[in-house]
Each structure stands twice: as structure tokens, then as C-alpha cells.
Structure 1
Amino acid sequence: MEFENRGHGPDLDRRGQALRIHLLRGCAALMMLVVLFVVLNSTVSRDVDARSQSERPPGAVPKAFSTYIDRAGISSDGSAAEADLDGAGHSLSGHALADAGWAPGGDVVLLGTPFRLPAYGRDRPDHALADGQPVLLEDTRVRSVGFLVTGSRFGGGGEDVLGTGTVVYADGTEQEYTLSVPHWTEGPAGDAALTLPYANSSRAMDPGPTGPVHLYARSVPVDPVREIDHVVLPEVAERSARMHVFSVGGRSAGQDWTGTWARATSGYMEVGPWEDQTLRLAVRSTTGGHRVRIRLDNTFADRPVRVGAASLALRGEGATTRGSALPLAFGGSDETVIPAGGQVFSDPVELLLPPHTDVLVSLHLPDRVTAAPVHFASVDTNFTSAPGTGDHTRDSGGEPFTGRVDQWPFLAGVEVLDGPGAVVTLGDSITDGTRSTPDAHARWPDVLSTRLAEQPGLPQLGVLNMGVAGNHVVTDGYPGAGVSTYANGVAMTHRAQRDVFTREGVGTLIVFAGINDLRWGTDPRDVIVGLESLAEAAAEHDVRVFVATLGPCGGEARCTAEVDQARQLVNSYLRGQADDPTNAFTGVWDFDAVLRDPQDPARLRPDYDSGDHLHPGDLGLRALAESVDLHQLVGG
């Protein structure tokens, strides 16, 4: 079919020719832009030591974390050239990791979160640099997202590495988070998931870090009710800073566990030695349930420990059980190995456990154990069989348990299913019960738990005592690694993630601490900053936090007039927070007013003084617990 020319031929031809010229010019310009874009993208220099060599395109599809692993930072001893963690030829030792029980492709639980370790080895990448990669989680409903990480800086510097990422929920909403990751050589051991004794170096003239190096676990709280679509790894703004990610995991929200008893690891100390013998550890529940499990920790350790068998029983007299001891399994196995720095949870067993019931946890240690993570000042009596006498975890009688242990080794918690929630008391020796009557459960958290049980209409919350004798808010007593005679714990700001915010069922925190910092010369302003940081962390985890003023200690050797002035400064600040509706604390409790002598406010009341002028005795501890408004505590 032909179109009829209606007399516009020459004009139409001219206009068509002009249009073709414009189109050709437009195409040429577009081609130049494309070429320029390609050239620019191919010539823009990126510091490959500070960023991943493969850029993530916008809108990248989320994938399993393992697919992003493209860098080697773990080497074999003697073959350090196969890896480079810090851009200067230094790397983590695969031999040291294996010695710690962190096997290639193995599993380790940290902060209650299971992590799958990279399958490190010769010519195998083992981590990724965090750079905004979208990651799928195996479990889409979790209480927190965990990261196994460490930091480095190209060209030196030991500051923390900061990065911001995003949690993307299945409903399309997003939650931004920030990770602060310490430097692998300069960061604190007290905050580390694992400390290795040395690093490898590929440079003969530069042996690299001669001291310990660290891996860290970080936990980001998320909404446990909503499903997560994916997690975007942090982006690090500083070009010289690198955040090395070795694994990503989630703390499951599938079941609602609540702590009924717990203690914090205060140090890694020489023990025994224990070999082919059974520990029988006495604990008391604070809330009840019908399904029970235990948590074992190998915190601060440099080697794994094997538990050959374990059991749980209601307690009779001494080391005898009331009824049969229930065997405990770990993933269906009678025995378990806890990697250095790691945790294990037993499989739950059916046991009707009422509140305020004495329980015996028995652990058989088949191998020689010369050092262990312990809660040092137990104030309760624990038991051990003689070396070489074998497994007595199922014994109902107490005859094999001829030895005594004044510590809680390995055992970090007892939990019940579907409990009402828990309160953590974070403090020092006053909370830990130093100078209270042994085996009498006279610590102020014990009395607080009893009061909750006696108050009709209030939930019988678990009360988890995380006091550590000698503990500080902002400075480490125990250095965080190695066998030590000091068992006064790492700083509360370093242990809060492990001892508070990743404990099951915790909804409330009580902080009564700071006097040891002041007694050992810490600036009171630093103590205040430390208390504020604990409150800020509690808010991030949706945990209510109460703080208590510091009691007097006049007459004790280190409680000088200067220390009392510093104490008054901290207390004045805290009391001021009680009147400020915008403050970070849910409430402020005046424990100083409870304990002080009206005639001499710098000293304890004589009837509350245990005799050393620092620690209240049973009567003073009871007074602290009785001063707590229970309705305010439970949120009623």
C-alpha cells in the first residue's frame, strides 16, 4: 500500500533530514556518555585492601553469607603467605584456632547465637569485608542477629571500626543498626569472644603482632515477632578501616526460655587438677517450670573442654539427690565439647521445678583439666569426687563426693521453658553476697526473689544474680585472657552483652555498682559515663533499667575522704536523674539512704555492717531487698 503525497514533499523531506541529523547526534552523545561511564567505572581507583574487590550492584539479591566469603585471613603456621588479614601480611593462625576447638567448618555458640565457622585452610577464603552485602539468615525469626567479626586499619591505628547496616523485615520495614568492632590486636581481651596467643606473618623482617589477637562477637537486637527478609552488612565509612566478618547467625525466637539461676564467669583460674572425676554443683531456682535445660560456658579459655556426662536432680541433703538424677544430652549425645570461649545448651528434660528449690547439676570431666572458667566466690558449697573415680553423674547418694569446691566452674545458667521473664542484678561483691552467711541464700537478690514469691498477684520472675566480687563498671580486674589469680571479672561494660542482654527472658536490669571503681581511683565522671552506657545498651535491647546509689564504706582501708567525695558526686548525679523524665534510667533507688548510719552518713549502719565496713551483713542485705518497690520492679 502506498501513502499519497499531498503536496508537502520538499518540506517533509527537509524536516525528515533534520530529524535524522538530530537523532544521529543524540545517539552519538548517548554513546559518548556510555563510553565515559564505562571508562570512569573502570578507572576509579579503590583501595582493595580496605574494600571488597567485587562491588555489590544496586538491588543485589540477598544470598547466604558463605557466598560472599572471598578473602583469606587465616593461615597455617609456617605458610603465612597464603593469607593477609590486615593488608600488611599478618593473619590469624589456623593452628591456634584449631587448638581452641574452632575447627574449619565447625560450630560455636557465642552470646547464645550459633555460628558456623568458615572452612578455612590452604587456598580457601575464610571471611568477607563488610560492605553492604545483603545476607539471608537460616532462621528468619530471631531475637538478635549475631556477627563474628574483628577490625583492622590499613596503615596502622587501633581504634574501633564503626559501620552501619540494616535489618530488612519481610513486611518491608527496616531497622538500622551500628556495629562497633574493636581492633584485632589493640582491642580489649575482656570483650573478646576468643583470644589467640599469636598471629602469623608473611614478612620475615616484620613478625607482626607478638601479643594476643582477638575475635569478637556482636549482637544486634531485633523484633522477635516479625520475620526477617535479610540483613544488610554494615558499610564502613572510613576507607582505612576494615570490618572482617567470619560468620553471621541468629539467636532463635522459636521457644521462650527464662533464666531461673545464673552466675557470671569472673575469671579463668587454676583448678584441681580435675581428671576423670565428677563435679556436683548446687544451685537454687528463682522461678519455676516443667522443662529445664542448663547452659555451660568456656569463657576466657584458650582450649576446649570435654564434658563426658551431665545430670540434673532435685537436691536432698548435702550432695545427695531427691529422687533420681536425670541424664542430660547435648544434641542427642551424652557428651559435649565446649570450644574455647564458647557455650553449649543441654537438650531440655521434663522436670517439675518449683521456685526456690535446690538443684544439683553434675558434670563428669574425663580429661585432665588444670584451668577453668569459674564464678569464684560462690558462698555456697559445691562438691567433687576424687580424681580417677569416673562418672558419678547418675549417683543419688553423696558418698563419692568427698571434696569441696568453693566456686561454680563451667555452669553459667539453668533455664525453664515458658517462664514469666527474668530480672538481672548487675553488681559487685555486695550483690554477689560476700560476707553473707554461707549456704543461707541471704544475698539481697535472693531475698528479692523470696519477696516476689510472697506477693500475691505479681509474676514470679527469675532473679539472675550477676554480681562479681571485686568487679568494676569501667575497668577490667581480670584481664580477659590467660590463667590468672585475679577473679574479679572484666568490666561490666565489657560483660553486659554476655551476662545481661543475651540471657534468656531478661526484661529488667538492676545496676548497683561503682564503689570499687572509686576505691581504686577511677574518676567519678567515668563511672557515670559507664552507668549511662549500660542504660543506653538496655534501651537498645528493650530492657528496663533501674540504678541504685552507692552505699557508704567509711572505715574501710581504701574508702578515704576523697573516695567518699567521689561517691557523693555519683550519688548526686543519680538522684538528679530520678527527677528528670528524659533520663536513660527507668528508676533510681537510693540504696545509700537504706544503708548509711544517720549519725555518720559516710559509714554503714552498725547493725548492717558485716564487720569490714564495706559489705553489709545479712541484715543489711535484707534491708536492700525490702526497700525495692515490687510493683515498680515488675512494671505494675
Structure 2
Amino acid sequence: MRKMCRLIGLLAAVCLSGTAVAQDKPYWVASWATSQMVPTNENIAPAEDLTDATLRQIVRISIGGRRLRVRLSNAFGTAPLVVSAASVALSADNRSSRIVPATRKQLTFGGAINVTIPAGADYFSDPVEMIVAAGADLALTLHLPSPPDRQTGHPGARAHSHFAHGQQVMAETLTGAKTSTRWYVIGGVEVDAPGAGALVILGDSITDGYGVQPNTNARWPDRLAVRLRANPSTRDLAVLNAGIGGNRLRLDGTGPNALARFEREVLTPPGVTHLLVIEGINDLGTLTRDAPATPEQHAALVREVIGVFHQIVTRARAHGIKVIGGTIMPDGAFAYYHPDAANEADRAAVNAWIRAPGNFDAVVDFDAAMRDPANPTRLRPDLDSGDGIHPSIAGYQAMADAVPLSLLAARRK
């Protein structure tokens, strides 16, 4: 009998140990991410600013967790990139380089404080034991001995980044820092959040937040994240902004086309359960930006745009991701694209396909929410930033409000 009791006790201990291991196993979910591209023109950081340089960049995570890890990116580099030291901390003020000293943690990479990121690659830090809350502002700080041979970054940060010389990754405030509104080298933050999921919003400058002032976090995905956190059925769903200004579905522009970046930005982040696609206006507009197009060219464009949407839906569904289509909003007052009746017919044809049952798993009708009832080819005046294509701050809030939260209720892969 004593042997039997010991055996039962041993089995119970093993089971409890197994439960503890299972409970402690990380459940990584992307909480913040940004789309990577090759900076051009004024978005290229001067080589001097990235030589023996400490970069402190502020990002707002959308869900919290019990530990985190940081993803660095050399996705478009053509040579290895050395990061000699890195840290993470809570930002004390997202307008400055000041951090909360008690929260600072040195990042390591395979136990080492430095890392060499291969050309074309991303690199995760080791997990950091750091409890972070949803909506927290994190300061990600890196020291670069030398500038990248070709930079990888995101110009539309809509947040201040801070650049200083010397190794200052653990400093409370950077000495001699200058500011920028662009992100470099950083690609994502992932948190250990059992049961959580993530929504990727694949878009262009409207999603990237054109017109949003630095550090205000007033892009429509930011406002949607606030709504999600306030709702019990969606509060554990992260929002990942995969918007690039000028982005197109079919052709490269300021950044890779949507289909080319799909795998890195939709399939690679862990925990993605939902995808919302709101692209196409730049494909439609650039057709006639420089010269009129023939009816055959208009018809071919519509076919190709729909073809890319179909590819995105097929690939996302293959990975168990719910795919939501966002209708294309009006641009009738955006003179740069010279929109006419043929362009409007193209937009109507694409939107009809998006709305048709079965093509997407669900639809958010941004067109209906944002158009002027008196002139449906234009944005509603109070929701228009003034250029005829980009929403105002009130317009971005209206876009966030137009998303039915029922579409984003818990769905686990």
C-alpha cells in the first residue's frame, strides 16, 4: 500500500510539474509592428547620425503581457548590421527621450549584449521579464557603431525618435540628442499573452496616418485599438499597423507592394487571427495621374486589383486568418489623381467585388461611412483633411468607429 501511495504521489508530482511547465510556456503575440521599407530622399538618416549613435525610439503597444521581446530588422540591408547594445524601458514622456529608470532592461541576443543581424533578416531579442500594460509607451534604445549600408525603416512613425552620439542605451535621458519623426531598425514588439490574438491592418497612407501629429497616436488603427481595449470581448486583440504611404496592391511605390510584403507583415507576426485590408485607391489613382487611360486599361486594372485581393484572401485563409475587406473611400476631390467618371466606375466595380458575399469573410464599408451623402464621389467635408483623399482627425475616429467590433470577437487559430 505504501508503494502504491508513493507511486500515486510521484505521478501527481509529475502531472503538476507538467502543468507548471505548460503554464509557463510563452504564448507570443505581436503587440506592435511597423512596415519595413527602404527610406528615400529626406527619409534617409544622415550617415553621421547613425555613426557611434544611440537611437531611442518610442512605440505604443496595443496589448500587454507578462514578458516581451523585441524584433530588430535589417530586412533591406545588403550587409550585416551590428547592434552593439540595446535596451527597453517604459517611456516617461513620449515627447522626449526620458525613460522610467526602474523599468529599464538590457536586451540580450542569445545571451550576448550585442548582435550582428544578417543582410535581409530580422532578429529577435531574448525574452525580457517585464510586465507591460496595454497601451504602454515603450522606449526601444539601440547603439549602432556604424550606419547600415542600406537603411531599413519606416518614415511615417508619427512619433519622435531621438539620436545621440556615444553608447547611452541605459541612460535615463540621452545627452545631446536630436529628434526625428522616423523609425529605423525596429520592426516589432511581441508580448507573452496567453489567449490573445492580433489584427493586422494592411493599408496605405490612410492607415499609416497621414496628417497625424507626432506622439498623438490618432491614426485610425490607434483609435480602433482604444475601442478594442474598452470592450471585454476584444480587449485581448492587438492592432498591428501595416500601412505605408503611397502603397499599392500591384506595383511597388514608396515601399513594396502589398502582395510582396504580405508574408513578412501578415503571416510572420505570431498570434495573427484577423486581417483587415484597405488598399487600392493608389492603384486606381495612379492609372490616370500622368495621362488619360483607355477603356481597356481601366478594365485591366480592375481585374488585376481584384486578382490581388483574391490572392491575399486565399493565402490568409490557408493560415486560419479571418480576412476582412475594407471598401475604397472616395477621392473625387483629389486633383493630383485627376479622377473622372471612368476612375469612379473602377472604384465602384472594385467595391462591388469587396462587398459581394464570400469574397471576403466580412466587410467594413468605409466608403459608406465616409462619403458625402450629397456628393458620394467625395469625402464628407467634416471628415476630410482638406486634400480630398486623406481623412481629418475626426475622419480617422469615424473610420475606427465604423468597424463593427463583432467582426473582431475572439477567434483563436
Structures share a fold, TM > 0.5?
yes
* CA distance in structure 1 between the partners assigned to 2:243 and 2:406 by the alignment: 23
Match of 1:629 among 391, 404, 408: 404
| TM-fit CA distance, 1:559 | 4.3
Match of 1:463 among 239, 248, 254: 239
| TM-fit CA distance, 1:635 | 4.8
* Residue type of the alignment partner of 1:272: P
Task: Encode CA deviations 1:173-198: one digit per residue, 9 max, x unaligned.
Answer: xxxxxxxxxxxxxxxxxxxxxxxxxx
Match of 1:299 among 75, 95, 101: 75
Task: Encode CA deviations 1:212-240: one digit per residue, 9 max, x unaligned.
Answer: xxxxxxxxxxxxxxxxxxxxxxxxxxxxx
* Residue type of the alignment partner of 1:474: R
Change (3 A) 1:509 1:559: farther
Unpaired segments ≥5 residues, structure 1: 1-253, 478-487
**Residue 569 (str. 1) matches residue 349 (str. 2):** yes
Q: Report the counterpart of residue 199 of structure 1 in structure 2.
A: none
TM-score normalised to structure 2 length: 0.85
* CA distance in structure 2 between the partners assigned to 1:603 and 1:257 by the alignment: 42
Unpaired segments ≥5 residues, structure 2: 1-24, 288-297
Q: Report the counterpart of residue 6 of structure 2 in structure 1.
A: none
* CA distance in structure 1 between the partners assigned to 2:377 and 2:359 by the alignment: 28
Task: Encode CA deviations 1:427-466: one digit per residue, 9 max, x unaligned.
Answer: 0000000112321111111111100111134332111000
CA RMSD in angstroms, aligned pairs only: 1.5
Match of 2:260 among 483, 486, 494: 494
Preserved CA contact (<8 Å) 1:311 1:327: yes
Query: Which structure has the highest helix share of the two?
Result: 2
Residues 29-68 of structure 1: pairs in structure 2 closer than 5 A: none
Q: Greater CA radius of gyration, 1 or 2?
A: 1
Query: Which structure has the highest strand share of the two?
Result: 1
* CA distance in structure 1 between the partners assigned to 2:134 and 2:338 by the alignment: 38
| Secondary structure of 2:130 counterpart | strand
| Secondary structure of 1:553 counterpart | coil
Residues 127-206 of structure 1: pairs in structure 2 closer than 5 A: none
* CA distance in structure 1 between the partners assigned to 2:139 and 2:304 by the alignment: 41
Task: Encode CA deviations 1:102-161: one digit per residue, 9 max, x unaligned.
Answer: xxxxxxxxxxxxxxxxxxxxxxxxxxxxxxxxxxxxxxxxxxxxxxxxxxxxxxxxxxxx
* CA distance in structure 1 between the partners assigned to 2:232 and 2:74 by the alignment: 39
Preserved CA contact (<8 Å) 1:271 1:370: no
Q: Report the counterpart of residue 439 of structure 1 in structure 2.
A: 215
* CA distance in structure 1 between the partners assigned to 2:212 and 2:235 by the alignment: 27
Q: Report the counterpart of residue 250 of structure 2 in structure 1.
A: 474
Residues 69-84 of structure 1: pairs in structure 2 closer than 5 A: none
Preserved CA contact (<8 Å) 2:78 2:150: no
Change (3 A) 1:471 1:533: same
* Residue type of the alignment partner of 2:284: L
Q: Report the counterpart of residue 94 of structure 1 in structure 2.
A: none
Determine which structure has greater relative contact order: mean sequence separation of CA pairs < 8 Å that are 6+ residues apart, divided by chain length. Answer: 2
**Residue 402 (str. 1) matches residue 182 (str. 2):** no
Preserved CA contact (<8 Å) 2:74 2:152: yes
| Secondary structure of 1:533 counterpart | helix
| Secondary structure of 1:333 counterpart | coil
Match of 1:260 among 28, 31, 36: 31
* CA distance in structure 2 between the partners assigned to 1:613 and 1:266 by the alignment: 26
Preserved CA contact (<8 Å) 2:234 2:408: no
Residues 348-363 of structure 1: pairs in structure 2 closer than 5 A: 348-363=127-142
TM-score normalised to structure 1 length: 0.56
Task: Encode CA deviations 1:357-392: one digit per residue, 9 max, x unaligned.
Answer: 11100000012445310111111111111xxx3111
Match of 1:418 among 167, 189, 193: 193
* CA distance in structure 2 between the partners assigned to 1:500 and 1:369 by the alignment: 25
**Residue 617 (str. 1) matches residue 392 (str. 2):** yes
* CA distance in structure 2 between the partners assigned to 1:502 and 1:457 by the alignment: 25
Change (3 A) 1:621 1:559: farther
Task: Encode CA deviations 1:383-437: one digit per residue, 9 max, x unaligned.
Answer: 111xxx3111100124x15211221111000000134011100000000001123
| TM-fit CA distance, 1:268 | 4.5
* CA distance in structure 2 between the partners assigned to 1:505 and 1:559 by the alignment: 41
| Secondary structure of 2:248 counterpart | coil
* CA distance in structure 1 between the partners assigned to 2:208 and 2:155 by the alignment: 10
* CA distance in structure 1 between the partners assigned to 2:271 and 2:46 by the alignment: 34
Identity of aligned residues (%): 37
| TM-fit CA distance, 1:621 | 0.7
